[in-house]
Amino acid sequence: MSRRAEHDVRDLVERARAGEARAVARLISLVEDASPLLREVMAALAPHTGNAQVVGITGSPGVGKSTSTNALVTQLRRAGKRVGVLAVDPSSPFSGGALLGDRVRMQDHALDAGVYIRSMASRGHLGGLAWSTPQALRVLDAAGCDVILVETVGVGQSEVEIAGLADTTMVLLAPGMGDGIQAAKAGILEIGDLYVVNKADRDGADQVRRDLRSMLALATGRDGAWKPPIIKTVAQTGEGVDEVVDKLAEHHAWLASSGELERRRTRRARGEIEAIAVTALREKWGDVHGRSELDTLAAAVAAGDADPYGAADELLAAFTD
């Protein structure tokens, strides 16, 4: 890396740490574009990370994730917290960029220097999270955010991926969005640290809460385990959101005292390292649009001239010799 590039990276990081929104935006753009400077950026950010609480917000489309996120930001700002929001949107099939852009419902905070909002394209990633989301979280963490809210696309069963990314996973449900059995099928009972029944002013909210409580009671946790609370809210008016913020703080304190926070973050870092290593290997295998060793081995397997395990061993051997 040239001296000029090294200076630019240091300058960007220092400006981002000082809370300059343009510097934060530039760093996240470097992440999304897989810039050659990314290694230096992450190395410069590393000593300044590990302080923010990462909250994942998930749920089916239509439950009010964006409205709830907006209400949470308002409440967190009242408590004096600096807040970052990563809203992971579906990708445009043409540009690969986020279809919705910075969420219209969150524009209440557009001029607040204590809030940073960024839409990121999922770019076809089935889990609803862009591959670059973990690195973007590091940028916001180093930039001094106390709480980072990650709002996912809302694509059903693959939403469970958020549990591997967040310190606390908040699952939203709403009356009329499907019964409790469907919720169980979607796997949300396995990932939630906090359940929020939004649009609680509608008929059926109490029934959703009862169904959730009944199913959570069937889950047997070890002694001292966290028992996920169920809270009713009306995000449009802010009703119940203060209780959600209190429970998020309570869960974070439990994570720290029980050692679970360290375990979750170590697991998250392991997945991040693995993803980076696999991506690097794929790049070494050659251009996906051209002929590579992987293509040759794939053709042999398809023709029955080789088996997939032997082909995989041969591919790995090419990089370990």
Domain boundaries, the chain: 1-48, 50-258, 285-320
Of 84, 165, 86, the residue nearest 119 (C-alpha)? 86
Which CATH fold would you assign to the domain 50-258? Rossmann fold (3.40.50)
The pTM for the full model equals 0.85
Cross-strand pairs, 158: none
CA distance 318 to 277: 16
Most confident of 4-13, 105-114, 139-148: 139-148
| Cα 51–chain centre separation | 16
CA distance 178 to 59: 11
What is the rounded average pLDDT of the residues 188-208?
A: 89
pLDDT in tens, 237-274: 999 999 999 999 999 999 999 999 999 999 988 888 88
- 157 pLDDT band, cuts 50/70/90, is very low
What spatial distance separates the first Cα and last Cα of the chain, rounded to whole Å?
Answer: 28
pLDDT at residue 185 greater than cutoff 60: no
Most confident of 76-80, 129-133, 154-158, 209-213: 76-80
Q: What is the pLDDT of residue 47?
A: 92
Reduced to 3 states (helix: H, G, I; strand: E, B; else coil), residue 310 is: helix
What is the rounded average pLDDT of the residues 165-191?
A: 75
Most confident of 74-83, 101-110, 285-294: 74-83
* CB distance 172 to 203 below 8 Å: no
pLDDT at residue 54 greater than cutoff 90: yes
pLDDT at residue 10 greater than cutoff 60: yes
Reduced to 3 states (helix: H, G, I; strand: E, B; else coil), residue 137 is: helix
pLDDT at residue 184 greater than cutoff 50: yes
Cross-strand pairs, 147: 53, 83
Q: H helices within 79-191, ranges in order? A: 133-142, 180-185
